[in-house]
Amino acid sequence: MGEVTSSRVGLTRRSFLKTAGAAGALGLAGAAGMTSSSNWLAPVEANADEGAEERVAYTYHQKHCRGNCMLKCTVRDGRLCKIEPNMAAAKGFQSVCLKGLSEIQHVYSADRIQSPMKRVGERGSGEFVAISWDEALDIFSENVKSCWDKYGKSSVYLAAATESEISNMRNIMQCGYTSYHGIDIGISNGLAPMFGFKAASAVNDIRDWKNCKTFIAISLNFIETSLTHSRHYFNAMEAGMHTIVIDPHYSSMASKSDEWIPIEPGTDGAFYLGMASSIIDNEWYDKAFMRDHTTFPFLVSTVDGTMLESPEGDFMVWDPTTSAPKSYMETNDQTPLEGEFDYEGVTYATAFTLFKEGQKTQSVEWAADVTKIPASEIERIAKMYALDTPSVLAIGQGGCDKYNNSDIAGHAAGILAALTGNIGKSGTGLGYPGNGGYASATLPSWPLKPEMKTSSFKTPVYELPYVENDIRCYITLGDQIMQHFADLNKVYEWLMTLDFVCYIDIHAISGSQYADLILPISSRFESETEIGGVQAVRDHIMLREKVIEPLFESKSEYELERMLMDSLGLGDVMHKTTEELVSYQLANIKSPLVDQVTIESLQANQGVMTVKNADTPYCPMKSLKFPSPTGRLEVYYDKYLKFNQALPVFEYPEETAPDSDVRAKYPLQYAQSRTRFHIHDQFCDSTWIQELYKTCVEMNPVDMKSRGLSDKDDIVVYNDRGEFSCPVRSNESIRPGSIRIMEGEWTKFMKSGNYQNVTNPTIIPRGRVMAYGPVIPYNDTLVEVKKA
């Protein structure tokens, strides 16, 4: 075969044929059909009969990817046959992705839970039989009531996936419940104190990125994980935004940036601190912003690190005219940002002086050594961030967020914004860009009796296998078993000790195997009634109409919630129909952005309404009045003095530290990322997705060669916690010394085992005092691999 090179794109004839192999292989699977020539060359018919009845309904899709796609659905002869973006949505919000389109198949998936099922074998054996809803409800209510009688109401724990719309049940049942979910919170733990715990980011609408000059994305693969919003990223780049992506791997985001800077995994905090040192050394900081909008000028005791307060409880700054402290509210242009001051026998320093002093051990050179990014590069990026402004520091919830040192990184990132003033104003941004920055009305929840609240249970759920607790009944809405624990073998041991495990989901994902009772719910396309729900997100109010009837024996979430509460004799406090709930929510929207909205007004506009000013990018902190008690960015965390973290002091992760004892036996860092092909554990069973992507471990060819591995070999990934097996793919995008897997894959689609069997569940004491609870350090995991 001759190699014909196209001069324009470097695409070779052979590379066409190679990649054609994927399609060809699929084609060959059907080649057996060649043995029969019957029906060959039959006349062509139209896709649908002439008289086929078609109708259109509107719904919304998943929110967990931050997509919130509003969809126009065509139903032909009772079956969902076409999905398109709803063009009644505002421009820039008319979207669908490969997953939304795959719902054509996915709602009819072979892995749908078709009917209620009860366990017949040992727990965990996966042996179930189909039962009636009557029997299922009896089993549910008997077991819940039995736990209530024996151990009290807080012995029942309800864990719900972000995607779930069920919100009343845990309150009505007064369940054990915590908002500590162990993921997507690490950086926020470090940023929240800066805003007095009233916010965890200062993120403008992503349409405002077009006003940004320097965009730094770190541990963030936004164009893949929030792919329907990517257009705004490209619009901003076309408007002149310079993008720098910091990531250990050559991610999708990295491949679409101006610069990719590879970093040692788990060291983002050191990178930020190196930038901060560079900004200090070169005096690139914004003194006026620091003085007027941060706590950098506040006085701190050099003896014990406490902040000086007036008798009235005001924090103090130094007054050079009186040589005495005064309230920070009297700050003026004479207020010193730096200095040490003696007052009543104690020496006080400003928070900025303490920070500068502390940074002497966290220099640019030190950061270069830790992160493996050259000092000159850290300095160059710091200069761009500080001077080529406005700048965005966009931080992801994967990568560094999955380490126990992520709060330190979050704190350091906040300090960078506080030093440079890259916050609040148009073109700036700090933190995870997927949640905030949209003007949205808030929908009220259904009013319950005041005593109906979750219990005061405070243990993070992923600690339950390891600590004494009162939980005896675990109800999971969506697969909270696979998605919210590490080291699954320990989790299975814990599940075996419980009195009752109930699993509620659309599809039978891996965790369902450990249930006593499995209950089927339906998708966002199905509803018993004409109106299925409503959401107010991302500048829109969106209605969910019935597209098709609930499939099989499944129930919509609201219907199931009512049935379960009725079975406990508590259903009378709930709305009687979904339409009643939706009408109540719409009638009680309290927002200056919405005048009046009803089911009818939404239906008249293809199920959507944009809120007022939806065409103006929303910048929630542009007044620079921050939501903290002082109205400033509170950079000094005296609350964390006992952990030596009043100001950020870098700590290595535990297991993957350079000098970790585990490295000798297990030399590879195990990273899990989110892929555009799945939303965590959703869509893994979609055959339209499986045609495009199958889960594998990706590995740099250097590490494969040293282990004698070839592309597509089945491998075993293992450490002392456990193992799993799947194919390996050779990929130069992966940092040598690390391997990568896309999280969420079901056990049944692996060669064996679950990808969470090897992950690190260790919680550190500092995590327990953090605003959003401790982190599950999934990426702080070391493994070795071998050929299966």
Partner 1 sequence: MAKLGMAINLFRCIGCNTCVNACKMQNSVPMGMHWNRVLTEGCEVFDGAEGTYPNLTRTYIPLACQHCENPACLRVCPTGATYKDDKGRVEIDYDKCIGCRMCMAACPYNARVFNWSEPVRDPDFNYGDKDVPVRPKGVAEKCTMCKERTDRGEEPMCVMCCPTEARVFGDLDDPESAISKFLGEKSTFVLLEEQGTRPQVRYFK
Choice between 219 and 730, CB closer to partner 1: 730
Structure tokens at 356: 């500068």
According to CB under 8 A, which residues from 278 to 297 bind partner 1? none
* Sites for partner 1 among residues 92-151 (CB under 8 A): 95-98, 101-102, 104-105, 108
> What's the closest the beta carbon of residue 106 comes to partner 1, in angstroms?
9
Among 1, 9, 120, 467, binds partner 1 (CB under 8 A): 9
Q: Closer to partner 1 at the Cβ: 9 or 664?
A: 9
Binder among 1, 2, 3, 45 for partner 1 (CB under 8 A): 45
- CB 701 → partner 1: shortest distance, Å? 9
Contact 240, 332 (CB under 8 A): no
Contact by Cβ (8 Å): 89, 615: no
Q: Which of 207, 265, 302, 266 is nearest to 618 (CA)?
A: 207
Q: Which of residues 651-690 bind partner 1 (CB under 8 A)?
A: 676-677, 687-688
Cis ω before 297 (30° cut-off from 0): no
* Interacting span for partner 1 (CB under 8 A) from 26-34, 350-358, 554-562, 563-571: 26-34
Shortest distance, position 228 Cβ to partner 1, whole Å: 5
Report the DSSP pairing between strands 517-520 and 500-505.
Answer: parallel
For the bound state, the minimum distance from the C-beta of residue 737 to partner 1, rounded and expressed in Å, comes to 10
Print the SS3 string covering 73-103. Answer: EEEECCEEEEEEECCCCCCCCCCCCHHHHHH
- Binding partner 1 (rule: CB under 8 A), the pick from 2, 3, 7, 311 is 7
Toward partner 1, which CB reaches closer, 62 or 171? 62
What DSSP assignment string belongs to 136-166?
HHHHHHHHHHHHHHHH-GGGEEEEE-TT---
Which amino acid does the sequence have at 24? G
Q: Distance between CA 176 and CA 155 in Å, rounded?
A: 6
Binding partner 1 (rule: CB under 8 A), the pick from 13, 55, 198, 787 is 13
CB 362 to partner 1: min, Å: 25
Residue 765 CB neighbours (<10 A): 9
Task: Choose between 42 and 120: whose C-beta lies nearer to partner 1.
Answer: 42
Element (H, E) at 483: helix 480-483
Could you tell me how many residues of this chain bind partner 1 (CB under 8 A)? Answer: 89
Shortest Cβ 434–partner 1 spacing (Å)? 15
- Asked if 700 is part of the footprint of partner 1 (rule: CB under 8 A), the reply reads yes
- The answer to whether the beta carbons of residues 242 and 213 sit under 8 Å apart is yes
Cis peptide before 460 (omega within 30 of 0): no
Rounded least distance, CB 666 to partner 1, Å: 21
Residue from the set 516, 539, 698, 743 that interacts with partner 1 by CB under 8 A: 698
Cα dihedral 703→707→710→715 (10° resolution): -100
Region from 6-14, 446-454, 534-542, 619-627 binding partner 1, contact rule CB under 8 A:
6-14
Per CB under 8 A, the segment of 13-21, 435-443, 569-577, 589-597 that binds partner 1 is: 13-21
630 vs 733, beta carbon nearer partner 1: 733
Tokens of 459: 């243990």
29 binds partner 1 (CB under 8 A): yes
**Residue 46 binds to partner 1 (criterion: CB under 8 A):** yes
3-state SS, 103-138, equals HHHHCCCCCECCCCEEECCCCCCCCEEECCHHHHHH
For position 52 contacting partner 1 by CB under 8 A, the verdict is yes
Residue with tokens 């969506």: 478
Least distance to partner 1, CB of residue 197, Å: 35
- The yes or no reply on residue 23 touching partner 1 (CB under 8 A) is yes
Task: State the pairing for strand pair 608-610/668-673.
Answer: unpaired
Q: Does the protein bind partner 1 through residue 467 (CB under 8 A)?
A: no
Residue 85 near partner 1 by CB under 8 A: yes
* Residue of 88, 86, 34, 79 lying closest to 60 (CA atoms): 86
Sign of the four-CA dihedral 436, 442, 447, 449:
positive
Confirm or reject binding of residue 19 to partner 1 (CB under 8 A). Answer: yes
Minimum Å distance from CB 268 to partner 1?
17
Inter-residue contact 250 to 732 (CB < 8 Å): yes
| Distance (Å, whole) CA 567 – CA 49 | 45
Strand order in the sheet with 299-301: 299-301, 346-350, 340-343
Taking the complex as a whole, how short is the minimal distance between the CB of residue 80 and partner 1, in angstroms?
8
Give min distance, CB of 127 to partner 1, in A. Answer: 27
- Site for partner 1 (CB under 8 A): which residue of 330, 357, 691, 720? 691
d(CA 308, CA 641): 14
Is 27 a binding residue for partner 1 by CB under 8 A? The answer is yes
* Residue 455 φ/ψ, nearest 5 degrees: -70, 175
Q: Binding to partner 1 (CB under 8 A): which residues in 238-267?
A: 250, 252, 255-256, 260, 262
Q: Closer CB to partner 1, residue 21 or residue 658?
A: 21
Considering only 1, 2, 3, 44, the residue that binds partner 1 (CB under 8 A) is: 44
Calpha distance 290→272 (Å, rounded)? 18
From its phi and psi, is residue 569 left (phi > 0), alpha (psi between -120 and 50) or beta?
left
Tokens of 695: 């889960």
Q: Which residue has the tokens 């919000």?
A: 93
- Select 368 or 412, whichever has its Cβ closest to partner 1: 368
- Using the rule CB under 8 A, is 15 a contact of partner 1? yes
Contacts of partner 1 in 554-613 (CB under 8 A) = none
**255 vs 613 by CB, closer to partner 1:** 255
Smallest separation (angstroms) from partner 1 to the CB of 25: 9
Q: Give 84 or 338: the residue with its C-beta nearer to partner 1.
A: 84
Residues ≥6 apart with Cβ < 8 Å to 391: 212, 213, 214, 215, 216, 384, 385, 420, 422, 427, 428
Least separation, in Å, of the C-beta of 671 and partner 1? 14
- Identify the CA nearest to 507 among candidates 446, 554, 461: 554
Phi/psi of residue 603, nearest 5 degrees: -65, -30
Q: For partner 1, give the closer residue by CB, 97 or 441.
A: 97
Instruction: Decide: helix, strand or coil at residue 395.
Output: strand
Q: How far apart are CA 155 and CA 148, in angstroms?
A: 7
In the complex, least distance from residue 733 CB atom to partner 1, rounded to whole angstroms: 5
Q: Are 699 and 734 in contact (CB under 8 A)?
A: yes
Q: Which of 2, 3, 43, 321 binds partner 1 (CB under 8 A)?
A: 43
Candidates 31, 120, 467, 664: give the one binding partner 1 (CB under 8 A): 31
Q: Which is nearer to partner 1, 46 or 664 (CB)?
A: 46
Q: Name the CA radius of gyration of the chain, rounded.
A: 28
- Work out how close the CB of 503 gets to partner 1 at its nearest, in angstroms, rounded to a whole number: 25
The amino acid sitting at 438 is: Y
- In the range 704-763, which residues lie near partner 1 by CB under 8 A? 711, 729-736
Binding segment for partner 1 (CB under 8 A), chosen from 46-54, 266-274, 312-320, 531-539, is 46-54
In whole angstroms, the minimum distance from the beta carbon of 157 to partner 1 comes to: 37
Residues 214-243 that bind partner 1 (CB under 8 A): 223-224, 227-228, 230-231, 234
Instruction: Tell me the one-letter amino acid at 270.
Output: A
- Nearest distance from residue 438's CB to partner 1, in Å? 18
Residue 508 DSSP symbol:
-
According to CB under 8 A, which residues from 65 to 84 bind partner 1? Answer: 76-77, 79-84
Are 66 and 55 in contact, with CB atoms under 8 Å apart? no
Rule CB under 8 A: say whether 768 interacts with partner 1.
no
80/191 with CB nearer partner 1: 80
